[in-house]
């Protein structure tokens, strides 16, 4: 009967306006007469939220009634960015909203700008999770994301006197995109101890007792698919003390302060995102976060499964759980614990269910990013889990010994417990042992994990357990939303916006690679995007840049392996070259703007030094009248998802120059090419597959290959290490004080001169600057350049996250799409 009351939501601008006015006047309790942009944003979002929630409810009902297999994507990071623009585009009502808002006296762009980014992630891994959510909904997969509702997302970056300063990102003041579910809570236990009972039949059961309880509350974020009936759910957990507002016993006995302190300690768990990207620190609070989130999510998943009244052995037919890196690996142990301790299953049956349920995605080979937790820490915080880990390890090592008798060293190498002082739990090994599939995120990376860090496990489990799923990006946000004019131009040539659902349709553009009219429009769009970025640069840094210059952009987390230091050394080399040129020679040069952006982990001193150097170099070059427009150096403050949407469409060339073998995939490389920019890059990560797709002529590759890296490093350490002479000149100029205080940068230079140049900056430097010269030459021939860009975009279809999610669905999750036609 209730079905007749279900609404479809607004579909005309008049209906939309009515909803907005209603929300301003009732939900927000304001008057339209003093409705500012903040209130207008709030009301417009609430209007769209209402729509989404109707679709969300229907999607959930559909999935429940058909009892479909669902995938659960467990990620400690979801770097969502803004939601309103995305929601408007995905439900196909942006134009309705634009006209409606304009009648109410607002420009839609200004309204969109009001929204605070949801920045619950560090970089690539977190943004990948967000792209995956978009694709899973757009492809109608029954899928949930599970994460933490951090009160503080990644910090805001301010640049003060050339140095990074971190400012807390308190983003929850007003967030219309989340629904608190105060009725959905889970009690999570920490500390305590384990008691073993023997019943009359001699069966042993373990009981985890005592310790403290923290309450997890669910907050749901609707995830609309693009032009689909599916709105999936992202469930984020928030922590608070279990006994309600206060511990009343303490409260009554007059211990008010300590009861408030308990409350705060519990809330600390979901308070802040750890700002390290690819750098593991082993902090207890982080392990607490992981268990809190994993335990709440599994309780929720198991509760949902139990409603279906199926037998436990059917669990893997109903549930797939994907681990976004090792951060949620405790889920493996927690599910085993639930099955044996709480549900009474035998170990073997439980373990078979567990290991069929999980898949593990690895995102890095860097040793400093591999998670290890100390056994004493574990013992104290999660005593029962440590026991189960020891059992898992015992059975695993026994099976290895049966298969490879007498290989004692192998056993030590693959043991989940590292026999160090203190002993450590190796989370990646645990994830491998407890999953049915392990995947890397680009071909080279997947090969590397099989031949290096997980080599022994390939022998043990066979090669089929290890697979590759090359990353992708959502074309909805990274083309349609970020670059609406380019999207419109593409639509006009490929027969509408279908390419946004099947990105391989971009190949229809290739026939226009020499079309004069098309190329002109293409160029105009790029120019307009550069003008927009130039305005942003002017407004935020005060520096005037020429939109006709070549925009050379490197935006990503600052890390030595990503080699922003090589980029800025290249800029200094260019500066020195220009200074030494005659006026005639200078006339032949292509003007260039070198743009940097990205955050350094607050404790990563070397990364902060790189930021300082970029700013110091910019301060000198940008005011050198002698150089003028030929070279400008910009550091863009606080790079984030919404800024990326402005920056990426404005690039001519972008830099993806990691030491070969270190960048697992990279995903901004895909975003830049999709927006009509070319790449200068190393043979690393997804650059290799991008090259295969777009063709070697349409990318600027340079540098040593990953198979040569070990030997070069060895030579640095044991042989003579002669620096590239061009680099020496750059260092000389820094050391002479050209860019300010010499001591500031000595560690950066020292790492290369004196400490083995681990990232091969010197080895790749000549090849890098020569390739930059090729870029200059190529850019001068605008006609050919634009053709290269068009051809590249036409060949980027492979890098849609839709293709990527379909691969996961088929080869790892074994799930099918579900639409209203399929049932319900």
Q: Is 501 a catalytic residue?
A: no
Burial of 404 per CB tally in 10 Å (0-12, 13-18, 19+): middle
Nearer to ligand 26Y, 137 or 664 (CB): 664
Nearer to ligand 26Y, 117 or 262 (CB): 117
Count the site residues for ligand 26Y by CB under 6 A.
Answer: 22
> Beta strand pairing status for 163-167 and 179-190?
unpaired
Q: On the CB side of 457, how many CA atoms lie within 13 Å of its CA? A: 26
Report the first-to-last Cα separation within the chain, whole angstroms: 16
Please give the Cα distance from 709 to 713 (Å, whole number).
6
Listed in order, strand segments (DSSP E) in 549-652 are: 550-555, 592-597, 631-636
Q: How far is CA 369 from the centre of its chain?
A: 15
280 binds ligand 26Y (CB under 6 A): yes
Please give the Cα distance from 152 to 117 (Å, whole number).
12
Question: Which tokens go with 513?
Answer: 């690679």
Please give the Cα distance from 245 to 288 (Å, whole number).
21
Listed in order, strand segments (DSSP E) in 674-794 are: 678-681, 700-701
**Of these, 81, 666, 703, 797, which contacts ligand 26Y (CB under 6 A)?**
666
Nearer to ligand 26Y, 136 or 490 (CB): 136
Nearer to ligand 26Y, 91 or 804 (CB): 804
Nearer to ligand 26Y, 278 or 640 (CB): 278
Please give the Cα distance from 98 to 20 (Å, whole number).
12
Nearer to ligand 26Y, 369 or 679 (CB): 369
693 binds ligand 26Y (CB under 6 A): no
**Of these, 685, 787, 791, 809, which contacts ligand 26Y (CB under 6 A)?**
685
* Residue of 556, 573, 643, 795 marked active site: 556
Q: Is 363 a catalytic residue?
A: yes
125 binds ligand 26Y (CB under 6 A): yes
Least distance from ligand 26Y to the Cβ atom of residue 277, Å: 5
Q: Is 556 a catalytic residue?
A: yes
Question: Which tokens go with 79?
Answer: 């770097």
Q: Is 12 a catalytic residue?
A: no
Least distance from ligand 26Y to the Cβ atom of residue 324, Å: 9
Nearer to ligand 26Y, 386 or 469 (CB): 469
- Considering only the stretches 59-67, 278-286, 541-549, 693-701, report the one whose residues sit in contact with ligand 26Y under the rule CB under 6 A: 278-286
* Residue of 151, 337, 557, 559 marked active site: 557
Least distance from ligand 26Y to the Cβ atom of residue 361, Å: 7
Least distance from ligand 26Y to the Cβ atom of residue 232, Å: 20
At 406 the three-state DSSP class reads coil
Nearer to ligand 26Y, 117 or 178 (CB): 117
Contact between 169 and 509 under an 8 Å Cβ cutoff? The reply is no
Least distance from ligand 26Y to the Cβ atom of residue 811, Å: 17
- Considering only the stretches 110-118, 197-205, 665-673, 743-751, report the one whose residues sit in contact with ligand 26Y under the rule CB under 6 A: 665-673
At 800 the three-state DSSP class reads strand
Question: Which tokens go with 603?
Answer: 């404790």
Question: Which tokens go with 31?
Answer: 């008057």
Residues 356-395 binding ligand 26Y (CB under 6 A) are 363-364, 369, 371
Q: Which helix (H) or strand (E) holds 307?
A: helix 284-307
Of the candidates 538, 554, 567, 556, the one whose C-alpha atom is nearest the C-alpha of residue 652 is 554
Least distance from ligand 26Y to the Cβ atom of residue 148, Å: 13
Question: Which residue in the block uniquely carries the two structure tokens 């229809």?
Answer: 508
Alpha helices in 453-495 (DSSP H): 455-461, 475, 484-494
Q: Is 795 a catalytic residue?
A: no
Least distance from ligand 26Y to the Cβ atom of residue 809, Å: 18
Q: Cβ–Cβ contacts within 10 Å for residue 259, how many?
A: 21
124 binds ligand 26Y (CB under 6 A): yes
Question: Which tokens go with 370?
Answer: 């591999």
Nearer to ligand 26Y, 305 or 758 (CB): 758
Contact between 354 and 390 under an 8 Å Cβ cutoff? The reply is no
667 binds ligand 26Y (CB under 6 A): yes
Please give the Cα distance from 683 to 661 (Å, whole number).
8
Least distance from ligand 26Y to the Cβ atom of residue 668, Å: 8
Contact between 579 and 620 under an 8 Å Cβ cutoff? The reply is no
**Of these, 114, 233, 276, 762, which contacts ligand 26Y (CB under 6 A)?**
276
Please give the Cα distance from 4 to 497 (Å, whole number).
33
Question: Which residue in the block uniquely carries the two structure tokens 């009732």?
Answer: 26
Question: Which tokens go with 435?
Answer: 């999953």
Residues 66-105 binding ligand 26Y (CB under 6 A) are none
Per-residue binding letters, 468-507, with ligand 26Y (x by CB under 6 A): ---x------------------------------------
Nearer to ligand 26Y, 143 or 486 (CB): 143
- Considering only the stretches 296-304, 576-584, 663-671, 717-725, report the one whose residues sit in contact with ligand 26Y under the rule CB under 6 A: 663-671
Of the candidates 307, 315, 323, the one whose C-alpha atom is nearest the C-alpha of residue 350 is 315
Burial of 27 per CB tally in 10 Å (0-12, 13-18, 19+): middle
Question: Which tokens go with 207?
Answer: 């009981």
Least distance from ligand 26Y to the Cβ atom of residue 652, Å: 23
441 binds ligand 26Y (CB under 6 A): yes
Question: Which residue in the block uniquely carries the two structure tokens 């590249």?
Answer: 792
φ/ψ (deg, to 5) at 6? -65, 135
Contact between 748 and 610 under an 8 Å Cβ cutoff? The reply is yes
**Of these, 277, 334, 552, 638, which contacts ligand 26Y (CB under 6 A)?**
277
* Residue of 23, 62, 363, 599 marked active site: 363
Least distance from ligand 26Y to the Cβ atom of residue 392, Å: 21
- Considering only the stretches 211-219, 273-281, 455-463, 695-703, report the one whose residues sit in contact with ligand 26Y under the rule CB under 6 A: 273-281
* Residue of 671, 716, 788, 795 marked active site: 671
Please give the Cα distance from 354 to 345 (Å, whole number).
12
450 binds ligand 26Y (CB under 6 A): no
* Residue of 364, 667, 682, 771 marked active site: 667
Least distance from ligand 26Y to the Cβ atom of residue 800, Å: 15
Contact between 361 and 75 under an 8 Å Cβ cutoff? The reply is no
Q: Is 361 a catalytic residue?
A: no
123 binds ligand 26Y (CB under 6 A): yes
Q: Cβ–Cβ contacts within 10 Å for residue 198, how many?
A: 9
Least distance from ligand 26Y to the Cβ atom of residue 212, Å: 25
Nearer to ligand 26Y, 125 or 159 (CB): 125
Residues 296-315 binding ligand 26Y (CB under 6 A) are none
Nearer to ligand 26Y, 122 or 609 (CB): 122
Least distance from ligand 26Y to the Cβ atom of residue 669, Å: 9
**Of these, 128, 216, 335, 627, which contacts ligand 26Y (CB under 6 A)?**
128
- Considering only the stretches 121-129, 190-198, 287-295, 783-791, report the one whose residues sit in contact with ligand 26Y under the rule CB under 6 A: 121-129
- Tell me the CA distances in angstroms from 209 to 134, 185, 333, 379, 561, one per residue in order: 41, 20, 17, 14, 45
Catalytic residues, by residue number, are: 363, 556-557, 562, 667, 671
| Residues near ligand 26Y, by CB under 6 A | 122-125, 128, 276-280, 363-364, 369, 371, 441, 471, 663-667, 685
């Amino acid at each position: 009967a209730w079905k007749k009351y279900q609404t479809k939501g607004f579909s005309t601008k008049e209906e939309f306006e009515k909803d907005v006015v209603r929300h301003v006047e009732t939900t927000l309790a304001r008057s339209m007469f003093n409705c500012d942009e903040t209130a207008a944003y709030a009301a417009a979002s609430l209007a769209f939220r209402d729509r989404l929630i109707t679709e969300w409810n229907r999607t959930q009902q559909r999935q429940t009634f058909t009892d479909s297999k669902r995938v659960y994507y467990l990620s400690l990071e979801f770097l969502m960015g803004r939601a309103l623009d995305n929601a408007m585009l995905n439900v196909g009502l942006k134009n309705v909203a634009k006209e409606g808002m304009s009648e109410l006296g607002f420009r839609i762009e200004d309204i969109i700008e009001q929204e605070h980014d949801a920045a619950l992630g560090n970089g690539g891994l977190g943004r990948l999770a967000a792209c995956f959510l978009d694709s899973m909904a757009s492809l109608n997969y029954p899928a949930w994301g599970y994460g933490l509702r951090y009160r503080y997302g990644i910090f805001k970056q301010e640049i003060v006197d050339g140095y990074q300063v971190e400012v807390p990102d308190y983003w929850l003041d007003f967030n219309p995109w989340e629904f608190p579910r105060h009725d959905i809570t889970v009690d999570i236990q920490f500390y305590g101890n384990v008691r073993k009972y023997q019943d009359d039949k001699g069966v042993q059961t373990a009981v985890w007792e005592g310790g403290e309880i923290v309450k997890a509350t669910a907050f749901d974020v609707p995830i609309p698919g693009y032009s689909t009936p599916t709105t999936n759910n992202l469930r984020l957990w928030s922590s608070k003390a279990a006994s309600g507002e206060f511990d009343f016993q303490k409260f009554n006995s007059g211990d008010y302060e300590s009861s408030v302190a308990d409350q705060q300690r519990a809330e600390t768990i979901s308070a802040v995102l750890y700002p390290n990207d690819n750098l593991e620190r082993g902090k207890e609070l982080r392990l607490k976060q992981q268990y809190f989130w994993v335990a709440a999510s599994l309780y929720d998943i198991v509760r949902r499964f139990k409603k279906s009244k199926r037998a436990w052995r059917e669990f893997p037919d109903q549930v797939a759980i994907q681990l976004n890196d090792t951060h949620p690996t405790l889920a493996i142990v927690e599910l085993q614990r639930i099955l044996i301790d709480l549900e009474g299953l035998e170990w073997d049956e439980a373990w078979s269910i567990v290991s069929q349920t999980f898949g593990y995605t690895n995102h890095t080979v860097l040793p400093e990013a591999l998670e290890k937790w100390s056994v004493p820490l574990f013992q104290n915080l999660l005593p029962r889990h440590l026991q189960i880990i020891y059992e898992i390890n015992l059975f695993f090592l026994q099976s290895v010994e049966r298969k490879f008798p007498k290989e004692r060293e192998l056993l030590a190498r693959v043991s989940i417990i590292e026999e160090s002082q203190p002993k450590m739990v190796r989370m990646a090994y645990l994830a491998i042992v407890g999953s049915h599939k392990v995947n890397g995120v680009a071909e080279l990376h997947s090969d590397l994990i099989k031949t290096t860090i997980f080599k022994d496990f390939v022998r043990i489990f066979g090669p089929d357990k290890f697979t590759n799923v090359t990353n992708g990006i959502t074309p909805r946000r990274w083309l349609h939303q970020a670059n609406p004019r380019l999207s419109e131009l593409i639509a006009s040539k490929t027969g509408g916006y279908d390419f946004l659902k099947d990105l391989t349709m971009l190949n229809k553009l290739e026939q226009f690679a020499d079309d004069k009219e098309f190329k002109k429009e293409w160029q105009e769009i790029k120019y307009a995007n550069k003008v927009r970025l130039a305005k942003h640069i002017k407004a935020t840094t005060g520096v005037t840049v020429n939109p006709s210059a070549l925009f050379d952009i490197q935006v990503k987390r600052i890390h030595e392996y990503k080699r922003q230091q090589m980029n800025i050394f290249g800029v200094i080399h260019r500066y020195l070259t220009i200074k030494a040129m005659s006026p005639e020679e200078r006339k032949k040069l292509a003007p260039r703007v070198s743009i940097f952006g990205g955050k350094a982990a607050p404790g990563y001193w070397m990364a902060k030094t790189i930021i300082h150097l970029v700013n110091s170099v910019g301060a000198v070059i940008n005011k050198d009248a002698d150089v003028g427009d030929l070279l400008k150096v910009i550091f863009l403050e606080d790079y984030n998802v919404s800024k990326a949407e402005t920056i990426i469409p404005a690039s001519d060339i972008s830099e993806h120059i990691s030491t070969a073998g270190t960048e697992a995939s990279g995903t901004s490389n895909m975003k830049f090419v999709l927006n009509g920019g070319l790449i200068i890059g190393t043979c690393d990560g997804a650059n290799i597959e991008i090259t295969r797709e777009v063709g070697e002529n349409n990318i600027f590759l340079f540098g040593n290959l990953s198979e040569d890296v070990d030997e070069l490093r060895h030579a640095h350490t044991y042989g003579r290490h002669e620096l590239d002479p061009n680099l020496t000149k750059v260092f000389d100029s820094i050391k002479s004080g050209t860019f300010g205080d010499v001591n500031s940068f000595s560690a950066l230079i020292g790492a290369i001169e004196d400490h083995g140049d681990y990232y091969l900056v010197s080895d790749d430097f000549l090849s890098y600057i020569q390739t930059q010269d090729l870029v200059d030459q190529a850019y001068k021939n605008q006609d050919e350049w634009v053709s290269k860009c068009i051809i590249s975009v036409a060949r980027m279809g492979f890098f849609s996250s839709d293709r990527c999610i379909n691969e996961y669905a088929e080869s790892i999750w074994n799930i099918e799409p579900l639409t209203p036609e399929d049932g319900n």
